[in-house]
A and B are shown apart, each in its own frame.
Chain A
Amino acid sequence: MDNQDQQAVAGAVPPALDDAPARLRYRSDAPFESPIAPLADFLAANGSGGNFAAVRIDPGDDVRALLPHLGRLKLVEIAFPKFRDGRGYSSARILREAGFGGEIRAAGDVLVDQLGFMRRVGFDSFAPDAPLDPVVVAATFARFPYVYMKAADGLAPVWALRHG
């Protein structure tokens, strides 16, 4: 699993390796830019020898359709047309649970108050529709010193800290 570049310390502020003002990225590898295929196009192209390395998952898509193809993917963009629709959180975490180490980007109606949850389920880049205040972003990531449950970020839950 290739996500050792993710910060596994609660409360630490990850370095923003930001290449565009409106985008937040918490990865040490070079940003990857290429056409992002909708899931249906990706799967169709895959059958006909196509070669997309970036794919978009919409809320109703079954992210598990990607699991046979993770080795060729560098970026999965998960769309949030409405911030209230939380399906993308499960999609991201399922990818990380399957060992995907590439970039998982939350795109769309992404609000600062969701970033902490999103980082925990495995997102490591963000393309919000509206720009986020970097001061508030930093405060958000530094907010919680501990977490109660495991997720996809490698943080030890308090039960592990309590019992060594």
Chain B
Amino acid sequence: MYRYDHFDQAIVDARVAEFKDQVGRRLRGEITEDQFKPLRLMNGLYLQLHAYMLRVAIPYGTLSGTQMRMLAHIARTYDRDYGHFTTRQNIQYNWIKLEQFSDLLDDLSKVEMHAFQTSGNCIRNISSDQFAGAAADELADPRPYAELLRQWSTLHPEFSFLPRKFKIAVIASDTDRAAIQLHDIGLQLRTNAAGALGFRVYVGGGMGRTPIIGQIVRDFIPVAQFLSYCEAILRVYNRYGRRDNIYKARIKILVSELGIAEFTAQVEAEWAELEPLGLDAPQAEYDRIIAQFAAPAFDPAAPDTLDLSDPDFAVWVAQNVHAHRAPGYAIATISLKPKGGIPGDASSAQMDVIADLAERYAHDEIRVTHSQNLVLAHVRKADLYAVWQGLDAAGLATPNLDMVTDIIVCPGMDYCTLANARSIPIAQRIAAKFEADVAAQQDIGELKIKISGCINGCGHHHAGHIGILGVDKKGEEAYQLLLGGSGAEDASLAKILGPGFDENGIIEAVDKLIDFYRSARTAPDERFLDTYRRLGPAPFKAAVYG
């Protein structure tokens, strides 16, 4: 894991001091709320329905046990004893008081954490693959490049007043676990014909009210130059992205309006200006950061077998454990979608349990996933049963990864000022139908349901195999039904199936869809998404609307 040196710490400390000063000037009335708003947003502080919401940055979703324990402390001390892990691999607290905010920031900075650039029209926290450094199929650990991006984008003087927010994701596998084609910039590490390391660069992907899949702006940029190339993309966006309409201000609209060929030409021309200026970090800096992400010393003698005699453990292993690249090790996903729970929420006590287990059994590393779950990436198979027992005792061993009850959901009208409809209760009602029946969930297999409470799409409904969108219909909550989305390497956008529903109607419709799928699939391993792609929407529509 990356550890701050004194330079990093000094910058974070200065930033905390700066924001404390800004809060002080706001509280004394020296700046208006309009002037304060972008300042607090760039420090992760939103004014929500009931209180201030704070979003803490978890760079590329990686944190240590010590950091997780601090997140628990913050939930316990400043909030209502829980936190909410987000689709951007961050954590949100929903009940923060402005007058306690300085102390909270001090606590965070003690463990090399902060809330910078988790909001606002700037380059946001960088996201990555939750299996980084552990996945069998990756070319190299993508996180050193995410860290280079983190440093390059922190307090960037030219790009802190962009037309709109800007999200970058980095992966290093052909399997996309970070939805890079739905980011403003998506970077996939790869090698060229000569064997050199570089990135394929996607640009202009995004969800929200105008969902678009990213396009390739460059098939290969050498790793040594990817920061200046990103700088060129950002400069074209900062200069020419639309500022006349907040709903057309993301880079995806600029790319669409210019066309990818013209956009690419402008980026290449800008890069020709920027590349000679020596903006890229030197190899020594790459080497320094890469060394900090060196894999733990895996035990070559670790037994590569598992005792699956406990049937509950066996179910969890089958669903929540992935192959690790080192023999004798495994990747364990901790579901934050328990029976009756709020997707993505964890209590302080649960966070402490996870911190303990990570320190004891998982080389002191925890990852946050964009599906709002957590991962212990390096667990000896011999320790997996003990890990499962620890998780199970804390209500964290729900065996439902990527299944019908593993639902991505935004906070919705229960918390959010933008929402048109509640989303959490919809997820809970859908899940309730299947929670008790693990066998039925296994029979249905991989099914990604994603729910947003408004058109802004924080619940990724466009990327759901089944997507649900809450809308306002003449003052009543209503729900649109979309099918066929994917945020993975086979990225696709879900399409509306037909007329919307009320709350009971959407629950019934999901039931009918699942029943139809189970009757129509040609093989047990044909996923819902595969059946939909094979048959098209018509039979699904007939099944729902009769």
- Tally chain A residues at the interface, Cβ within 8 Å: 39
Do A113 and B235 touch (CB < 8 A)? no
Alpha-carbon separation in the docked complex, A111 to B36 (Å): 11
* Interface membership of chain B positions 1-36, coded 1 if the CB is closer than 8 angstroms to chain A and 0 otherwise: 000010110110011011001100100001100010
How many A-B residue contacts, CB cutoff 8 Å?
109
Alpha-carbon separation in the docked complex, A26 to B453 (Å): 50
B: contact size bracket: 35 or more
Taking a contact as CB atoms closer than 8 A, the residue among B8, B238, B274, B277 that contacts A87 in the complex is: B238
Is A21 an interface residue, CB under 8 A from the partner?
Answer: no
Which of chain A's residues has its CB closest to B39's CB?
A113
Do A113 and B22 touch (CB < 8 A)? yes
Do A90 and B14 touch (CB < 8 A)? no
Interface 9-mer from B155-163, B331-339, B424-432: B155-163
Taking a contact as CB atoms closer than 8 A, the residue among A86, A113, A148 that contacts B11 in the complex is: A148
* Interface membership of chain A positions 139-164, coded 1 if the CB is closer than 8 angstroms to chain B and 0 otherwise: 11001111111110000011111110
Is A104 an interface residue, CB under 8 A from the partner?
Answer: no
A94 to chain B, nearest CB (A): 8
Is A97 an interface residue, CB under 8 A from the partner?
Answer: yes
Do A150 and B279 touch (CB < 8 A)? yes
Q: B284: which A residues are within 8 A, CB to CB?
A: 162-163
Is A136 an interface residue, CB under 8 A from the partner?
Answer: yes
Which of chain B's residues has its CB closest to A144's CB?
B14
B344 to chain A, nearest CB (A): 30
Is B273 an interface residue, CB under 8 A from the partner?
Answer: yes
Alpha-carbon separation in the docked complex, A117 to B235 (Å): 15
Taking a contact as CB atoms closer than 8 A, the residue among A59, A114, A133, A143 that contacts B18 in the complex is: A143
Alpha-carbon separation in the docked complex, A66 to B273 (Å): 16
Q: B279: which A residues are within 8 A, CB to CB?
A: 149-150
Do B10 and A146 touch (CB < 8 A)? yes
Q: B239: which A residues are within 8 A, CB to CB?
A: 87, 90
Do A90 and B158 touch (CB < 8 A)? yes
Report if A148-B157 is in contact (Cβ < 8 Å); known contacts: A97-B273, A163-B284, A163-B285: no
Do B39 and A97 touch (CB < 8 A)? no
Alpha-carbon separation in the docked complex, A148 to B238 (Å): 20
Taking a contact as CB atoms closer than 8 A, the residue among B154, B158, B161, B288 that contacts A93 in the complex is: B158
Is B151 an interface residue, CB under 8 A from the partner?
Answer: yes
Q: A93: which B residues are within 8 A, CB to CB?
A: 158
Report if A89-B155 is in contact (Cβ < 8 Å); known contacts: A136-B25, A163-B284: no
Taking a contact as CB atoms closer than 8 A, the residue among B8, B35, B156 that contacts A149 in the complex is: B156
Q: A116: which B residues are within 8 A, CB to CB?
A: 157
Is B499 an interface residue, CB under 8 A from the partner?
Answer: no
Taking a contact as CB atoms closer than 8 A, the residue among B7, B157, B160, B235 that contacts A146 in the complex is: B7
Taking a contact as CB atoms closer than 8 A, the residue among A89, A139, A140, A150 that contacts B161 in the complex is: A89
B11 to chain A, nearest CB (A): 6
Which of chain B's residues has its CB closest to A136's CB?
B25
- Contacting A at CB under 8 A, from B36-87, are 38-39
Alpha-carbon separation in the docked complex, A133 to B24 (Å): 14
Do A150 and B10 touch (CB < 8 A)? no
Do B273 and A120 touch (CB < 8 A)? no
Alpha-carbon separation in the docked complex, A140 to B157 (Å): 14
Alpha-carbon separation in the docked complex, A117 to B8 (Å): 18
B interface SS class:
helix
Is A39 an interface residue, CB under 8 A from the partner?
Answer: no
Is A32 an interface residue, CB under 8 A from the partner?
Answer: no
Q: A111: which B residues are within 8 A, CB to CB?
A: 31, 35
* Interface membership of chain B positions 295-322, coded 1 if the CB is closer than 8 angstroms to chain A and 0 otherwise: 0000000000000000000000000000
Q: B25: which A residues are within 8 A, CB to CB?
A: 136
Do B161 and A85 touch (CB < 8 A)? yes
- Contacting B at CB under 8 A, from A98-117, are 111, 113-114, 116-117
Taking a contact as CB atoms closer than 8 A, the residue among A113, A150, A151, A159 that contacts B285 in the complex is: A159
Taking a contact as CB atoms closer than 8 A, the residue among B5, B156, B278 that contacts A162 in the complex is: B5
Do B157 and A97 touch (CB < 8 A)? no
Taking a contact as CB atoms closer than 8 A, the residue among A86, A150, A158 that contacts B278 in the complex is: A150
A69 to chain B, nearest CB (A): 18
Is A121 an interface residue, CB under 8 A from the partner?
Answer: yes
Do A161 and B7 touch (CB < 8 A)? yes
Which of chain A's residues has its CB closest to B282's CB?
A163
Do B17 and A86 touch (CB < 8 A)? no
12 contacts between A and B (CB under 8 A): A83-B35, A84-B121, A84-B161, A86-B238, A89-B158, A113-B39, A116-B157, A143-B14, A144-B11, A144-B14, A148-B154, A162-B285
Given contacts A87-B238, A159-B281, A162-B285, 13 further A-B contacts (CB under 8 A): A84-B121, A86-B158, A89-B161, A93-B158, A120-B157, A136-B21, A145-B11, A146-B10, A146-B11, A148-B154, A149-B156, A150-B279, A158-B7
Interface residues of B (CB under 8 A from A): 5, 7-8, 10-11, 14-15, 17-18, 21-22, 25, 30-31, 35, 38-39, 121, 151-152, 154-163, 235, 238-239, 243, 273-274, 277-279, 281-282, 284-285, 288
Interface residues of A (CB under 8 A from B): 59, 83-87, 89-90, 93-94, 97, 111, 113-114, 116-118, 120-121, 133, 136, 139-140, 143-151, 157-163
The 6 closest A-B pairs by CB, nearest first: A86-B161, A120-B157, A117-B157, A159-B285, A158-B7, A163-B284
